[in-house]
Structure 1
């Protein structure tokens, strides 16, 4: 009897573990705001988006990158329920983009690359019109307009005409417009394009603040890769309609840079004669370059200890040892060229 009771307890424990795993998976799925499954869009023989699979998590800033014609805008239009996919599907805010496109547009907003606001209307009038399009009652509209203008730092210009604003101010009003219906996710298409350095920094800080203070999920397309690197939590690179990379910013160097390309900067007190030759002889070392007290060693991580030992054995001291960190632009170009 005791054995049978023990078996029953083990079986119950196993059931509990399975239940916990299912709960964890369910929680993970609840945190996904955008999810595509084999999403495809074709125009005749041309496939603009090809079986795209990606996920965007709650409260993150996701950088969606690719050259012109890669499929970024087509993807965003489908995710907004404004274009019907040829095959596959997606969910935004839990709603199916095909069967529930109206609900999708109730939880998602878009800031297009080129403004659709009216130049001869004031900031207030433009936002009031957007509120009316979303069936917001008058009092709710006015309260929300004041809130979003405060958020983007444009409250003092609520009665100024949109056409009088600088490019950066127009972008801030555009972001305010996307916030009118209190969305779960916002798609920003080239939000810093054409801005001067001050305007670029202001928009970047605004985007980061929206994430930090409001928990907003943001999908951002941009050609300015330095801004993506400063702003985004994760990126996806799309090439010819296919997602060829999806990774966190922290892991990009590990994922993208092959071992043969890894470079470590050693700053030394001196470079004794014969040191470079001995380092080049170490297994795995591809190349060694010298420049003004620095040795640039191209080698996998496993060679670091032997390289360091060789430096010490030659009587030099290591003042700095730092693997090279590649910029997002370098990684993008390297990977995109490889995919081509």
Structure 2
């Protein structure tokens, strides 16, 4: 992909002496889900407000859909849908009435507004609740209605700011499935801001790790893992009994290096707290187990760990760069 839908260049936002966003450079490509991952207070929401033209940057440039958000905020709002953590609706109106109202505000004729609202309520699973007043909706129902509300104007970009906060696990999975469907079936570009690693890893094509107003790293899980874990993406821990064929010859790192020499993809072999640690680029646990048994060793423990987004995220905060 080489078609940016969001382009931030040296974007900075200061409040007096406090720097909320610090020289941010970020590109989100058309048709992808980009996860902006960071703890509370990292500057994610401030960045989003500048994208929407709701806050002016101190310095730098922000473009969404090729439009400068600072100088043309209304044009940007016509192309972007925004779903915050807490969605506001008219609680004395039904879900259908709220959607139709939003559609009318966006210049959609009443007949088309009704038809589109009905279709969106079906897509987000709220058809049976469409005539219920939104004041009676659960948090999960409000977020799903919020997504329908965002989609009513057919946006090119959707910005989600902590959209799953307070939703039960089943509701979260349904919501994330809807997000993936919007990308896969409708080509919608999505910026997903969250502090939940697991959810970001589930749906995002690329991730940016955002801390104290700075983007520390960005890329897909594989590329981020390669940057941080240079000895391999997988860690395989082994518990091995003494050699049955040679009881007086203890198992050592050097022995295992020799045994594993025919196995491709191993980056290092080490020992820690009676466990042998194999770092490798791919999951070769079955090949390793086979070699151990072929050489008369008794394998009584094997644990495989992939360096996923949680390990990447933690490594940045541990100062492991």
Tell me whether 1:145 sits opposite 2:89 in the alignment.
no
Question: Which of 245, 257, 264 is 2:236 aligned to?
Answer: 264
- Which entry has the higher C-alpha Rg, 1 or 2? 1
Are the aligned partners of 1:288 and 1:298 in contact in 2 as well (CA < 8 Å)? no
Using the size of structure 2 for normalisation, the TM-score is 0.83
Name 1:182's counterpart in structure 2.
Answer: 154
Tell me whether 1:36 sits opposite 2:16 in the alignment.
no
- 1:230 is displaced (CA, Å) by 1.1
Which one has a larger percent helix, Structure 1 or Structure 2? 1
Deviates more, 1:104-113 or 1:145-154: 145-154
Please give the residue correspondences for 1:1-340 in structure 2 after superposition, counting only pairs within 5 Å: 29=2, 31-259=3-231, 263-266=235-238, 271-272=242-243, 274-279=250-255, 285-290=269-274, 296-299=276-279, 311=292, 314-316=295-297, 324-338=305-319
Q: What is the alpha-carbon distance in structure 2 between the residues aligned to residue 310 and residue 276 of structure 1?
A: 15
Name 1:16's counterpart in structure 2.
Answer: none
Q: What is the alpha-carbon distance in structure 1 between the residues aligned to residue 167 and residue 223 of structure 2?
A: 29
Are the aligned partners of 1:263 and 1:296 in contact in 2 as well (CA < 8 Å)? no
- Aligned length, in residue pairs: 303
Are the aligned partners of 2:62 and 2:68 in contact in 1 as well (CA < 8 Å)? yes
Are the aligned partners of 2:34 and 2:192 in contact in 1 as well (CA < 8 Å)? yes
Stretches of structure 1 that go unaligned for 5 or more consecutive residues are 1-27
Stretches of structure 2 that go unaligned for 5 or more consecutive residues are 244-248, 259-266
- 1:327 is displaced (CA, Å) by 3.5
Q: Deviations over 1:217-252 (max 9, x none)?
A: 111112221111111111101111110010112333
Moved over 4 A (4+): 279-286, 298-301, 307-314, 317-323
Are the aligned partners of 2:242 and 2:298 in contact in 1 as well (CA < 8 Å)? no
Name 2:264's counterpart in structure 1.
Answer: none
Using the size of structure 1 for normalisation, the TM-score is 0.79
Are the aligned partners of 1:239 and 1:336 in contact in 2 as well (CA < 8 Å)? no
